[in-house]
Chain A
Amino acid sequence: MAPAHPSPSIYVAVFMTLVGLTALTVWAASAHLGAWSGVIALSIATTKATLVVLYFMHVRYGERFIAVVAVAGAFWLAILVVFVLADVLTRSWLPILVR
């Protein structure tokens, strides 16, 4: 049976990775990547958040149902953002509705 919780050495490794990714995102933001910089910054942030959720918050080691709740939180946020942006970004397609 796998251990219910990871050991402190794994926590230290996750911490070092998170610090490294923070340095990477600061460097990438100043590297003149144009339109890609936002995508890269959010990808790095999502990677960091996933590491925290999987290791510090034990989702990788706990019950599967907890992972379902965690994914549901992110999924509902995605519904909110995607549908709001689907409205905002397509308003100009219908000239009659523009104030």
Chain B
Amino acid sequence: MKLSLEEIRKVALLSRLELEEAELERQTKNINDLLARFEALQALDVTGIEPTSHSIPLFNVMREDETTPSLSREETLSNAPEQLDGYFIVPRIVEGI
């Protein structure tokens, strides 16, 4: 299995990474080198084997719905690249309003 430059371009878009041509080419080579290592997996018979997502069993954790101290609005916004009147500033997403 080998990914083309075009396929990597699409993966980069899905990953929200704007890559220059030279970097796209370099990443295509590196990713294909790694994908070649994955081929052995395809030959393995895994019929009937349950997948493991975590090495320990996980359960939903419930607690009483009680108010506990949490970060203030000021602390929450303290690292924001752009903020105004207690809000995070983001680019306009919906046009015409």
Are A and B bound to each other?
A: no
Give chain B's interface residues, CB within 8 Å of chain A.
Answer: none
Give chain A's interface residues, CB within 8 Å of chain B.
Answer: none
